[in-house]
Amino acid sequence: MTAGVLARSVRAASGLTQIELASRSGIAGSSLSLIEHGKREPTVATLDTLLRAARHTVVAIPTVRSDAARIASEIAIALVESDGLSVYRRFLQLADNLAAESGATRVGLTLTEPSPTGSEQWDAAIAALCEYRLQADHLPVPNWITKRIGFPTRPWAPCTSGYNIPADPTKVPEEFLRRGILIEAQTLESV
């Protein structure tokens, strides 16, 4: 995860505006904006100051795989660029990343609450995927995941290809179905 993604994610998760975080941290608002948009790389001390002001801390986990917050950030960019296939590929990459790790490392990939992607459906799908992978091994589920409830009364299925075959609700994991996201379990398995 980049410093910008981390700073933006923890600020959003804390419910702070850039002005509020700048005031709490003593870091200029213009510098915070540059950091959040990836135009300035902060020192470790500056990043630590920002995170502590947002009541967060840095934790290192033994993996090189991208976490949910970084993937959500990449999905947000692909959504702005109207690149639906890239959105879906990034989502499947998160599925693979979580499946490839276990225990505390898998939990670690879900700890930082992702910033909104710009699509409530994709936000719910990311939460469902994280919960699905964590529940598979009876691991703890971070609070942000259970807060993203989606739209159970308005089912949604992402466009996965030019063929767009409807999902069979009997093959959709409960974590997805509960949020109105129609993605079959088989789709989440690496090929």
Q: pLDDT (tens digit, 9 = 90+) per residue, 109-144?
A: 999 999 999 999 999 999 999 999 999 999 999 999
Whole-angstrom CA distances from 79 to 74, 85, 124 are 9, 10, 15
CA pair distance 86, 64, nearest whole angstrom:
21
Residue 191 has pLDDT above 70, yes or no: no
Rounded to a whole number, what is the distance in angstroms from the first to the last CA of the chain?
25
pLDDT value of position 122: 97
Residue 152's pLDDT band, with cuts at 50, 70 and 90, is confident
Span 25-42, pLDDT tens digits: 999 999 999 999 989 999
CA pair distance 15, 55, nearest whole angstrom:
11
CA pair distance 163, 111, nearest whole angstrom:
35
Residue 161's pLDDT band, with cuts at 50, 70 and 90, is low
Give the highest mean pLDDT range of 3-12, 45-54, 131-140, 148-157: 131-140
- Beta carbons within 8 Å of 60's beta carbon, 6+ residues apart: none
Question: How many other C-beta atoms are found inside a 10 Å radius of the C-beta of residue 138?
Answer: 6
Residue-range domains of the chain with CATH? 3-53 (1.10.260.40), 68-188 (no CATH)
pLDDT value of position 95: 97
Burial tier of 137 (Cβ tally within 10 Å: 0-12, 13-18, 19+): exposed
Burial tier of 79 (Cβ tally within 10 Å: 0-12, 13-18, 19+): middle
Q: What mean pLDDT comes out for the span 140-154?
A: 93
pLDDT value of position 162: 64
Residue 76's pLDDT band, with cuts at 50, 70 and 90, is very high
